[in-house]
Structure 1
Amino acid sequence: MNAQAATPGVLAEARWPEPGDGAPPPLPGFVHSTFHPLAAAVAERCLTRRYGERPAPPQVRCAVVLASVAGDRPSAEHVRATVDAGGRIGPLFFFQSVSNSVAGHIAARWGLHGPVVCLSTTEDLRADATAAAELLLYDGDADEALLVLIEQASDGTPTGAVAMLMGGGTGS
């Protein structure tokens, strides 16, 4: 067992939106939906609060746990409607069709060296994501874990996102 992971706490936290926020900034390589830009923006804000500038310290193994009940609804609906109409799907939709793509983007951008886990649950999203992060910490797979909880309304508008960095020690 990783001793640091025995008593994880919240090291940094961020939300989107926070006062003064508009839409999240566009994310190169991702199209049509705010799901991926929203996940990246809230993760960026949280990691910046902990580490300052990119990259994260190389000695810290940081996992990424992305959790959402429904995932990227607008992209899924667009693909469904396009296929139903006999249209062709753009290649970026294949790339972004799994949540791992944005979780991997976050990890690569910050130089995070740890597992990437994506969850969907119909129960308590925050509790399930926290349990997954705690397991990664307890098992020694990571020293810290970035949780990104994100949901969109059924019409695809973002309802918000929360990012928390969990690990041992004291917060910033």
Structure 2
Amino acid sequence: MSADGLRELAVAAGLRVLAAGRWPESAADVVLPVLPGFVASSFSPLAAEAARRCLDAHPSGAGAGGPVTAVVVASALGDLAGAVRVAGAVDGGERLGPLLFFQAVPNAVAGHLAARRDLTGPVVCVGDARSGVAVAEGLLADGDAGLALLVLVEQSAVPGGAERAAAVLLAPPDAY
């Protein structure tokens, strides 16, 4: 799903889209920026770069001093490349390094985003974009967060296939 598709889902749910970002944005996006502490997979760097672009696109950003902001990560397959790497190591009797253990769950990057951008709201991971919008809608409606950063990550199940991420910063319909 594209950033536009994510935006459309959110708008259809009655949410305001304050900013959006994605990877890749253009043909110039060839090499994904490295995300320190995350190895052997593009999942977390994809999520982090789309989130960075989204948050940087919002005039006041999100985080320090702003409204409580939730982080919702949506992905149908989770960190597929990381899971394949871990399974191969286990099958081969290899010792797994601590970084692979740390990033073995998709919410590792959600926690990373929250810590780096001072996002103090709930952190949730779900299996698809519609569920992500529904969770964001619930967190905003219940007052658990004033904003929600929704990040959708799609890794390819085929080596060399297209990988992408989209992020939207969401607010309740009557806020901001």
Shorter-chain TM-score tier: 0.7 to 0.9
Deviations 1:104-148 (A, max 9, x none): 11111111110000112xxxx222111110000000000000000
Normalised TM-score (structure 1): 0.86
Asked if 1:99 corresponds to 2:110, the answer is no
- What CA distance in whole angstroms lies between the structure 2 residues aligned with 1:114 and 1:51? 20
Asked if 1:164 corresponds to 2:164, the answer is no
TM superposition shift of 1:59: 3.4
Partner residue of 1:36 out of 31, 34, 44: 44
- 1:103–1:116 CA contact under 8 A, matched in 2: yes
TM superposition shift of 1:86: 1.2
The answer for the alignment partner of 2:65 in structure 1 is 58
Question: Unaligned regions of 5+ residues in structure 2, if any?
Answer: 1-13
Moved over 6 A (4+): 169-172
**Identity within the alignment, %:** 48
- 1:74–1:155 CA contact under 8 A, matched in 2: no
Report the more deviating stretch, 11-20 or 40-49.
11-20
Distance 1:134 1:106, change over 3 A: same
- What CA distance in whole angstroms lies between the structure 2 residues aligned with 1:170 and 1:46? 21
Query: Higher relative CO (CA 8 A, sep ≥ 6), structure 1 or 2?
Result: 1
Q: Residue 59 of structure 1 aligns to a residue in which SS?
A: coil
**Matched residues, number:** 162
The answer for the alignment partner of 1:3 in structure 2 is none
- 2:16–2:170 CA contact under 8 A, matched in 1: yes
User: How big is the alpha-carbon RMSD for the aligned residues of Structure 1 and Structure 2?
Assistant: 2.2
